[in-house]
């Protein structure tokens, strides 16, 4: 057997063990009645670099699988709402978006300045504390059968405003970190905003026509068409410095009627597979040895930003006229941080030595705490 074949067989065996292990964790979580996401994260931590039993699985495979998982999570979330509902969410969610930014961006910035990291790393930390995890929250809401709950539109409104805010924030920070001038900053942000608006208008104005083009009696053709569209739009959005997740979400919004129902049934198994890969892969990237030094800061800033997110969700649901229980469910659900926070930290890699470790531990803490709070908030 050639060395390449031997390496390939090892990768297959390790991936087989990974997926079977994740299946066992999912079974356990299902029987216990809570989300499997924290278990996926902890499994990644245990088998990552410096963990109990490091694996040599293909980084390229797991990374691409993880990214596809995020896109499918957001696509499935978009399927739950029509273009008209999105318009309504944007109208009703604008004020909640302002409150969300006001409450959740400053804690990170203030913490960074207190640590004497400088202005730009502090702005990066502000973005990490600001953005909730659309991917994890979408998965948790689906697992707990809360997509039709009265508070869910308020939650989605906040998440949509956050994702759209990333269309401005990410290119802005990328230029600042690269040392770009004022003209370059303005141009990059203008392009990002224009691309996001074009995608949004296409989804809202031509959703019915797009659905008719996509629709086909063959499940195979429909699956390939929908999956290709999600990846294509997500890829173009990312290339123009707009969140790929926003592109996937808007593709879901654009599809309506019977095609939305069929797409949901066809994509759901793929979403679950790749989503599990995403959360496991995220855990793999965290080196356990780097966590102890930042844990005190993580608990402080994590506790503060958990409270500010709860207040955000509570206020948004209250503005929608919901009762106290629904307000608390909305607030607890928004506590979770995840994929966007890691993307933001990755932009600033090397700018501040402790930033990545702090971001990883912070996200792990709230990615576990958030789903647990959501599960036990009736």
* pLDDT tens profile 124-176: 999 999 999 887 888 788 888 888 899 998 898 898 888 778 767 877 787 77
C-alpha dist (Å) from residue 32 to 28, 37, 340, 370: 6, 13, 29, 17
Given this model, what pLDDT does residue 241 score? 64
Q: What is the 3-state secondary structure (H, E, C) of 299-339?
A: HHHHHHHHHHHHHHHHHHHHHCCCCHHHHHHHHHHCCCCCH
Q: What is the mean pLDDT of the chain?
A: 81
Q: What is the pLDDT of residues 277-313, one digit of tens each?
A: 877 877 777 777 778 888 999 999 999 999 999 999 9
Among the ranges given (95-104, 106-115, 352-361), the one the predictor scored with the smallest mean pLDDT: 352-361
- Per-residue pLDDT at 318: 93
Q: What value does the CA radius of gyration of the chain take, rounded to a whole number of Å?
A: 20
- Torsion over CA: 286, 66, 71, 330 (sign): negative
Taking only the tens place, the pLDDT of each residue in 37-93 is: 778 878 888 877 666 666 666 666 666 777 777 788 778 777 766 666 667 767 777
* Domains by residue range for the chain, with CATH: 70-271+285-375 (1.20.1530.20)
Tens-place pLDDT, residues 198-225: 767 776 777 777 777 777 788 888 888 8
More confident residue, 98 or 263: 98
Asked if 154 and 320 touch (Cβ cutoff 8 Å), the reply is yes
- Percent of the chain clearing pLDDT 70 (strictly above): 86
Contact 180, 187 (CB under 8 A): no
Q: What number is the average pLDDT over the span 352-357?
A: 80
């Amino acid at each position: 057997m050639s060395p390449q074949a031997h390496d390939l067989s090892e990768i297959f065996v390790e991936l087989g063990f990974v997926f079977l292990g994740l299946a066992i964790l999912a079974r356990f979580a299902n029987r216990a009645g809570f989300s499997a996401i924290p278990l996926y994260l902890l499994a990644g931590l245990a088998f990552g670099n410096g963990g109990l039993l490091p694996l040599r699985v293909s980084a390229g495979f797991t990374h691409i699988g993880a990214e596809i998982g995020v896109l499918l999570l957001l696509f499935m979330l978009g399927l739950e709402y029509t273009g008209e509902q999105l318009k309504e969410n944007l109208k009703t969610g604008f004020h909640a978006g302002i409150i969300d930014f006001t409450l959740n961006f400053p804690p990170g910035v203030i913490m960074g300045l207190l640590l004497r990291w400088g202005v730009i790393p502090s702005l990066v930390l502000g973005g990490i504390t600001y953005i909730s995890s659309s991917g994890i929250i979408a998965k948790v809401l689906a697992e707990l059968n809360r997509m039709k709950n009265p508070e869910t539109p308020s939650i989605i409104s906040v998440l949509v405003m956050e994702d759209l805010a990333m269309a401005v924030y990410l290119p802005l920070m990328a230029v600042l970190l690269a040392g770009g001038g004022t003209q370059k900053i303005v141009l990059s942000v203008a392009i990002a905003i224009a691309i996001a608006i074009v995608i949004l208008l296409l989804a809202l104005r031509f959703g019915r026509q797009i659905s008719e083009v996509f629709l086909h009696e063959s499940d195979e053709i429909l699956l390939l068409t929908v999956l290709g569209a999600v990846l294509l739009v997500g890829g173009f959005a990312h290339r123009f410095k707009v969140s790929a997740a926003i592109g996937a979400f808007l593709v879901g919004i654009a599809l309506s009627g019977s095609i939305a129902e069929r797409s949901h049934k066809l994509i759901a198994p793929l979403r679950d597979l790749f989503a599990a890969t995403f959360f496991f892969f995220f855990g793999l990237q965290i080196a356990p040895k780097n966590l102890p030094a930042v844990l005190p800061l993580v608990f402080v800033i994590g506790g503060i930003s958990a409270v500010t997110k709860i207040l955000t969700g509570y206020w948004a649901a209250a503005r929608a006229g919901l009762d106290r229980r629904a307000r608390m469910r909305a607030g607890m659900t928004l506590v979770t941080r995840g994929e966007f926070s890691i993307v933001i930290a990755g932009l600033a890699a090397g700018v501040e030595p402790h930033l990545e470790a702090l971001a990883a531990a912070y996200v792990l803490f709230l990615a576990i705490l958030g789903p647990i709070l959501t599960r036990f908030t009736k």
